[in-house]
Amino acid sequence: PKHFVSLDTLSLDEIMGLIEESLRYKQGDMPPLFDGKTVANLFFENSTRTKNSFQMAERHLKVQEIPFDVATSSVTKGETLYDTCKTLEAIGVDALVIRHPESGYYHELVEKLNIPVLNGGDGSGEHPSQSLLDLVTIFEEFKTFEGLNIAICGDLVHSRVARSNASVLKRFGANVVGCSPASWWDESMGLEHRDLDDVLADCDVIMLLRVQHERHIMGDIFSKEDYHARYGLTPARVERMKGQAIIMHPAPVNRDVEIAGSLIEHPKSRIFPQMTNGVYARMAILNRALGGQL
């Protein structure tokens, strides 16, 4: 099966193919239709964008969604993730979109299942569909990744988005740095640690991350106001960005923490266009998994 659990398992040619396919859908190309194919979306963590844009992509491809609600499923009786997925395979589901709090939850599934697993985010591990839509957004803007200066800023250690993007953007030849408080730094991403104020003026992309309140207690370290003043994107900092530079954030956003609320729909912001691109990216991911071609 054509699993989609990490962009690290795909070649750069394959990833570029998915980016170009996503942009063709955006330009109006008809996607392949999968009448009769079924997908279940299993979200063990909450989601607005990922779940709804996978559902929208499924509708565009005429894939039938088999509704799956963790809270009313037999997961509540102690059924394992593997047994749950094997059950859905047994009843005829053709692909599974899964978000789960455990990093790397998919290892057993990709070994044993005969249907594709599409990772909608695994704990602090990876978020490959977000990463693909981020690549689509950057490529749409700059037509290349080579030599772009990109700063990934904020709560790196808890961020699956940062982990996925740091890896793939470096593979594509971008100059990627990380800007974060020392306590939220993650050496394993292999980024150079810089101060946002020192790199801001040279950056093509400022990629902000959500402070993940559910994974730690920010009040232990900073007040929201202190964090915003020291590490957040403020109107004064935006004034120092290059003319063509853009602001990205996977959302949901903590307004006035990692980014000033007034900047979310700033002309430089691609936050809502990222969400639009997410539908096209997920159409390409589903097409790859279900075996169709553009």
Q: Is 215 in the site for ligand CP (CB under 6 A)?
A: no
What DSSP element (H or E) covers 152?
strand 149-153
Q: Quickly count helices (H) and strands (E) in the chain.
A: 10, 9
Binding mask 123-152 for ligand CP (x = CB under 6 A): -------x----------------------
Q: Is 119 in the site for ligand CP (CB under 6 A)?
A: no
CA distance 14 to 9: 10
Stretch that binds ligand CP, among 59-67, 145-153, 200-208, 250-258 (CB under 6 A): 250-258
CA distance 294 to 283: 10
CA distance 197 to 199: 6
Residue 48 CB, nearest approach to ligand CP (Å)? 4
What angle is formed at CA 16 by the lines to CA 30 and CA 13, rounded to 5 degrees?
120
What is the torsional sign of CA 257, 258, 259, 261? negative
What is the torsional sign of CA 227, 185, 274, 214? negative
Among 11, 48, 74, 188, binds ligand CP (CB under 6 A): 48
Q: Is 249 in the site for ligand CP (CB under 6 A)?
A: no
51 among annotated binding-site residues = no
Among 22, 50, 175, 254, binds ligand CP (CB under 6 A): 50
Q: Is 38 in the site for ligand CP (CB under 6 A)?
A: no
50 among annotated binding-site residues = yes
99 among annotated binding-site residues = yes
Q: Is 277 in the site for ligand CP (CB under 6 A)?
A: no
127 among annotated binding-site residues = yes
215 among annotated binding-site residues = no
Burial of 243 per CB tally in 10 Å (0-12, 13-18, 19+): exposed
Residue 147 CB, nearest approach to ligand CP (Å)? 27
Kindly report the number of other CB atoms within 10 A of residue 130's CB atom: 24
Stretch that binds ligand CP, among 17-25, 44-52, 111-119, 239-247 (CB under 6 A): 44-52
| Total interface residues for ligand CP by CB under 6 A | 9
Interaction site with ligand CP (CB under 6 A)? 47-50, 121, 130, 250-252
